[in-house]
Amino acid sequence: MDQVLILLHAGLGGIALLSGTIAIITKKGRLAHKRSGKVFHFSMLSSALLALLITFLPGHYNPFLFSIGVFTTYFLLGGYRALRYRQPDFVPKFDRITSLTMLTCAVGMILIPLLYQGQVDVVLTVFGGISIVFVMRDLSLYRDPKKLREAWLRLHISKMSGAYIASVSAFLVVNEIFHYYLNWLLPTLLGSIYIAFWTRKTRRKDVKVGGAALIMLLFHFAPLSAQVYTEKQSRHRFAQLSLGLDYQTSLGGKTTFLNASGNLESLDLGSIQKPRFLIGGTHFWGHADFYIAIPIAGPSFESNNQDIFFTSGVETIFKYYPWRIEHHRLRPFVGFSIAPFFYQQDNLIGEGTGPEKLHLGFPLLSGFTYNHQNFLLELGLNYNYSNSIDYFISRSREATIQTPPLYLYFSLRYMLETTLSAEKGWESGETARITDHLAAKGQLNNFFIGAGMSSAWWLGNSSYNQSERPFLPGYGISLMPDFSLGYYLHQPDINLALNYRSYNGGGTTYGVRQSLKRRSISLEATKYVLDYHGFAPFIGPAISYENLRFRERFEQEALKEFQDQKIAFGIAFGWDIRPNRLQTFLLRTNLRYFPSLKLDVAGNKQINFSNIEFNFIQLIVFPERLF
């Protein structure tokens, strides 16, 4: 049965590839184009659905194949249904549901590999990023029937072409035509040129495609300009979403190690490079920039019998522009970041795996940003002034490591404006009238759901490790999905929410293997305390039910295991980007602090689970407001 489904999947994919090619090269609107397009749609849709089915068969589970199957299905459904958008009475209820489903999958494509593999998957990040751009554009257009009718042809071309790109990529991957990444990314880049050409042609008949960078063509079809804040400063122009990549290289640094004779020697760390995925946004009408940088690769090198791994984790960046970001302007910036640095040194001729040491830094930032339309090109320098760490190079020998003090980076980001469509209603008073009308009926008291990625910063030291395992470092940063189910009370402006988080900690060092797990369900009541042009901070108490577990094995000793359930108290705070209270979705930043969360493990000794949780971007959706 498995082989039959796989053969059907491959056969339908081949038909889709052939018919899609015919649809691409034939004249748009002609009978040949329509017929080949229909064959492509139904054969490719069947192939994609079979791919989803195959991933659930025993022995064939493949999260990557599943994600790409969902990606292709979304594009096929959207591209085919776009033909109906030109109808005056069309209501996109089904389309909203598929868009929200795709948004959930796209976030997972980017973040799940980071959670379970410890690094970002380049291919999934590209496909997930493209999907997010399309979904945000779609959700914005669904709110405006007029714009949706005007955009039907562009949506049809871009989405059907996106599905065709997926079919070509699958063919190249299966047959291993080029290098693995090239098989996936080359069709995307070339297909983007085709999409950009036809998107421009449908907007302005006299425009020709010039020699712009491929990345600019890739996102050229985004719905709204992010430069609208230069016209005036309103709450609907306060912030702009940004997506992009940067390339960072370190300068300097020195470590110490034990040679074969047991003597200390020094070793230069050299230059370490890594690409990173960027997601965040500009705020305060181009005067501030907040975003996170997620490493796509963790570089390491081997020298003098030392296997050294050194990288920064997910970095949170805050920048200030004295002169705001504007089109065709070079602007200086200053700022700082919260950067976790991870260092591990394995002595290949000594005791083996050294500790993975977390060193939290607050680097100072400076540089220049050049703005071209929706693109931000940036050259910056990070100075990590606190770059010395104490590190056990063996169970009994501690040395000082000088991590790199300087980091040079170049980045390219794309800005998206997602809330401008609601500005007209706000300024005319229509938003206020609708808000008052719905509030009087209690229809703005709504359930919401939320999803995002959080990091947990472990605080303090554990008395057990200080006493029994002094060579173990403090625990690092744990990543986890963060899910919320809540209810919003409009009149008091309060959120009541249940939040579930689950994450692990620990590691292996010089023969000691420790594993920590925390499962938490918290109830929070947060009150908004301010609304500055849609920037709405909140704060409130949190009470949680905690399931804590600790395991340890040391060489030939028996496994030690401790587990407990307890109630913990904390505080939740953060902010929303909330242009108005009618939003169907918004972006939220959450922070949670649990100051006293410990597990008894041996007599009066404890393992410390206290932490600060930081969820930089969580998507909040109000399902009742979609319909």
What per-residue confidence (pLDDT) applies to 182? 57
Q: Which two tokens stand for residue 50?
A: 């079979």
209 and 243 fall within a common domain: no
First to last CA, the chain: 41
pLDDT-based confidence at residue 264 (cuts at 50, 70, 90): confident
Q: Which two tokens stand for residue 523?
A: 């109830």
Whether pLDDT at 207 is above 70: no
Q: Is residue 135 part of a domain?
A: yes
Per-residue model confidence (pLDDT) at position 200: 58
Q: Is residue 7's pLDDT more than 80? A: no
Please identify which residue in the block is written with the tokens 């804590």.
548
Q: What are phi and psi of 578, to 5 degrees?
A: -135, 85
Q: Do the Cβ atoms of 125 and 131 come closer than 8 Å?
A: no
Q: Tell me the pLDDT of the chain averaged across its residues.
A: 79
Q: Amino acid identity, residue 138?
A: D
Average pLDDT of the residues in 245-269: 80
Going by pLDDT thresholds of 50, 70 and 90, the confidence category of residue 217 is very low
Q: Which of 218, 242, 270 is the last residue of a domain?
A: 218
350 pLDDT more than 80: no
If one compares 499 and 555, the residue with the highest pLDDT of the two is: 499
Q: What is the pLDDT of residue 123?
A: 61
**453 and 482 Cβ atoms separated by less than 8 Å:** yes
> Are 266 and 170 in the same domain?
no
Q: Looking at the domain assignment, is residue 76 inside a domain?
A: yes
Please indicate, yes or no, if residue 453 is contained in any of the structural domains.
yes
For 531-535, what is the mean pLDDT? 86
Q: What angle do CA 307, 312, 313 make, to 5 degrees?
A: 110
Give the burial string for 163-197 (b: 16+ CB within 10 Å, else e): bbbbbbbbbbbeeeeeeeeebbbbbbeebbebbbb
Is position 266 within any domain?
A: yes
pLDDT score recorded for residue 250: 85
Structural domain total, the chain: 3
pLDDT the model gives residue 368: 94
Chain-centre distance for alpha carbon 196: 25
Can you tell me the distance from the alpha carbon of 620 to that of 583, in angstroms, rounded to the nearest whole number? Answer: 10
Arithmetic mean of pLDDT, 278-298: 83
Q: How confident is the model at residue 408 (pLDDT cuts 50, 70, 90)?
A: very high
Beta bridge partners of 416: 241
Asked if pLDDT for residue 450 goes beyond 50, the answer is: yes
Task: Convert the pLDDT of each residue in 594-617 to its tens digit.
Answer: 888 888 887 788 888 888 888 877
With H, G, I as helix, E, B as strand and everything else as coil, classify residue 229: helix
- Return the number of other C-beta atoms located less than 10 Å from residue 377's C-beta: 16
3-state secondary structure of 545: strand
pTM of the model: 0.58
- The mean pLDDT of 430-447, rounded to a whole number, is 86
List of residues 6+ apart from 500 with CB closer than 8 A = 482, 483, 484, 520, 521
> What is the helix (H) or strand (E) element at residue 498, kind and residue range?
strand 494-509
Tens-place pLDDT, residues 91-138 = 788 888 888 888 887 777 777 666 555 555 666 666 677 777 778 778
Find the angle CA(431)-CA(432)-CA(438) to the nearest 5 degrees.
90
What pLDDT is stored for residue 496 in this prediction? 94
- Assess whether 359 and 453 both reside in one domain: no
- Is 223 within the bounds of a domain? no
Q: Within this chain, do residues 195 and 260 fall inside the same structural domain, yes or no?
A: no
**Residue 215 clears pLDDT 60, i.e. is over it:** no
Same domain, 254 and 287: yes
SS3 call for 444: coil
Within-domain flag for 517: yes
pLDDT digits (tens, 9 = 90+) for 149-165: 877 887 888 788 878 88
Percent of the chain residues topping a pLDDT of 70: 83
Q: Rounded to the nearest 10 degrees, how much is the dihedral formed by the CA atoms of 102, 107, 52, 6?
A: 130
Same domain, 64 and 205: yes
Q: For residue 351, is pLDDT > 70?
A: no
- Average pLDDT score over residue span 134-146: 78
What is the span of the domain harbouring residue 479? 421-626
End-of-domain residue from the set 383, 416, 449: 416
Q: Ramachandran region of residue 421, left (φ > 0), alpha (ψ -120 to 50) or beta?
A: alpha
Task: Label residue 539 exposed, middle or buried (CB < 10 Å: 0-12, 13-18, 19+).
Answer: middle
For 51, 124, 180, 212, the CA distances from 66, given in Å and listed in that order, are 7, 11, 18, 33
| C-alpha to C-alpha distance for 115 and 275, rounded to whole angstroms | 18
Main-chain dihedrals φ then ψ at residue 378, nearest 5 degrees? -140, 140
CATH number at residue 563: 2.40.160.20
- Encode pLDDT of 33-62 as tens digits: 888 888 888 888 888 888 878 877 766 666
How sure is the predictor about 196, in pLDDT bands with cuts at 50, 70 and 90?
A: low
- Kindly state whether residues 401 and 440 are assigned to the same domain: no
Flag whether pLDDT at 540 surpasses 50: yes
Task: Transcribe 154-165 into DSSP letters.
Answer: HHHHHHHHHHHH
**pLDDT for the residue numbered 493:** 92
DSSP per position, 328-342: TEEEEEEEEEEEEEE
How far apart are the C-alpha atoms of 380 and 370, rounded to whole Å? 11
**Residue 115 sits in the same domain as residue 233:** no
Give me the residues paired with residue 247 across strands: 275, 410
Higher-scoring residue by pLDDT: 177, 67: 67
pLDDT-derived band of residue 174, with 50, 70 and 90 as boundaries? Answer: low
pLDDT at 320 over 70: yes
The residue with tokens 């369900």 is 521
